[in-house]
């Protein structure tokens, strides 16, 4: 987590320096004289991982358990668009929804709360994700074939994982008996709502080939989550809430088939983490601290239409 925080800090510093340099040089964009719009659709193919560390309610640094939902493969349909005004202001956004399957839930429980150490596996399937971003920005520099903009916006990301069965692979007998992989045993649903601040740039590599890249820090992210232990009615569901941070990177190459239609491909990486999250078990007077870390990475294919008005 410390490494991820440093990376987010470096990105934030870079954005600040870039914005300061632009302001110092007074690089205002020339007026284009017309509105421009681009709309399209994407297919996003991604992998993901969600890790949750649960600490003892009375001993802050004592980790009692770790649940890792990993190895899933998701397919998502996505719509996106951007509108640019003649004065350089722009609005852009995207929204997607899809499902994921495959992968493994690893549930680890640690001494002294659980003796001996326990490790179980469950199969992951029937999960889903949905997400969206809406940004408002300003083109701060433009030249022949190059455009740079700064933006701020909101990002929403929901991920749900479903674990089936329970197989003891190490330690004691936490499962009691092996539960078939046809039985739903554990689910985790996490909703992240984040502030985005970043830079986006376009470079025309040739007359028809364009490179687009953006980077954003998430200086504040709000987590609203819940855990379903389907075999334990006392914690089904159990609310988990907190706040944190994150960062996002994205890059794509697009090729203009005509002046209006383009095809492209690209990749992205998202990271979310909590700096403070808690939950409370029904029988405990004190809340338990939680650490969440979420990653999603993948590639996309897209088609878009561009027009002026």
Q: Using one digit for the tens of pLDDT, what is the confidence trace for 89-98?
A: 999 999 999 9
Domain of residue 70, residue span = 2-308
176 falls in which pLDDT band (50, 70, 90)?
confident
- Measured in whole angstroms, the distance separating CA 232 from the mean position of its chain's CA atoms is 29
**Mean per-residue pLDDT of the chain:** 90
- Number of folded domains that form the chain: 1
Residues of the chain by 3-state class (helix, strand, coil), percent to 5: 10, 70, 20
SS3 category, 114: coil
Average pLDDT of span 279-286: 90
Residue 21 is predicted with a pLDDT of 42
Q: Are 89 and 79 in contact (CB under 8 A)?
A: no
Least confident range from 32-36, 116-120, 152-156, 194-198: namely 32-36
C-alpha–C-alpha distance, residues 187 and 226, integer Å: 8
Average pLDDT of span 163-171: 93
List, for residues 114-161, the tens digit of each pLDDT value.
989 999 999 999 999 999 999 999 999 998 899 999 999 999 999 999
Q: Are 127 and 49 in contact (CB under 8 A)?
A: no
CATH number, domain containing residue 148: 2.40.128.90
5 falls in which pLDDT band (50, 70, 90)?
low
């Amino acid at each position: 987590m410390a490494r991820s925080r440093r990376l987010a800090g470096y990105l934030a510093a870079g954005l600040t320096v870039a914005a300061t340099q632009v302001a110092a040089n007074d690089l205002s964009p020339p007026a284009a004289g017309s509105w421009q719009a681009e709309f399209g659709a994407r297919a996003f193919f991604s992998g993901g991982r969600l890790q949750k560390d649960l600490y003892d309610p009375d001993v802050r640094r004592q980790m009692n358990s770790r649940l890792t939902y990993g190895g899933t493969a998701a397919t998502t349909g996505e719509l996106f668009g951007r509108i640019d005004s003649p004065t350089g202001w722009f609005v852009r956004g995207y929204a997607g929804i899809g499902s994921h399957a495959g992968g493994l839930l690893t549930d680890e429980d640690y001494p002294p709360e659980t003796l001996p150490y326990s490790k179980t596996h469950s199969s992951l399937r029937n999960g889903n994700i949905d997400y969206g971003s809406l940004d408002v920005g300003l083109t701060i520099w433009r030249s022949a074939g190059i455009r740079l903009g700064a933006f701020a916006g909101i990002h929403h990301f929901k991920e749900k994982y479903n674990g089936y069965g329970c197989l003891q692979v190490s330690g004691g007998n936490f499962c009691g008996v092996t539960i078939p992989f046809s039985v739903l045993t554990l689910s985790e649903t996490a909703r992240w709502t984040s502030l985005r601040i970043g830079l986006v740039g376009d470079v025309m590599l040739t007359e028809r080939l364009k490179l687009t890249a953006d980077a954003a820090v998430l200086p504040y992210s709000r987590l609203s989550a819940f855990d379903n232990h389907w075999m334990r009615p006392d914690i089904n569901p159990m609310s988990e809430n907190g706040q944190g941070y994150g960062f996002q990177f994205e890059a794509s190459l697009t090729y203009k088939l005509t002046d209006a239609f383009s095809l492209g491909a690209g990749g992205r990486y998202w990271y979310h983490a909590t700096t403070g999250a808690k939950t409370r078990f029904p029988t405990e007077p004190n809340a338990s601290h939680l650490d969440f870390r979420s990653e999603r990475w993948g590639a996309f294919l897209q088609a878009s239409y561009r027009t002026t008005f």
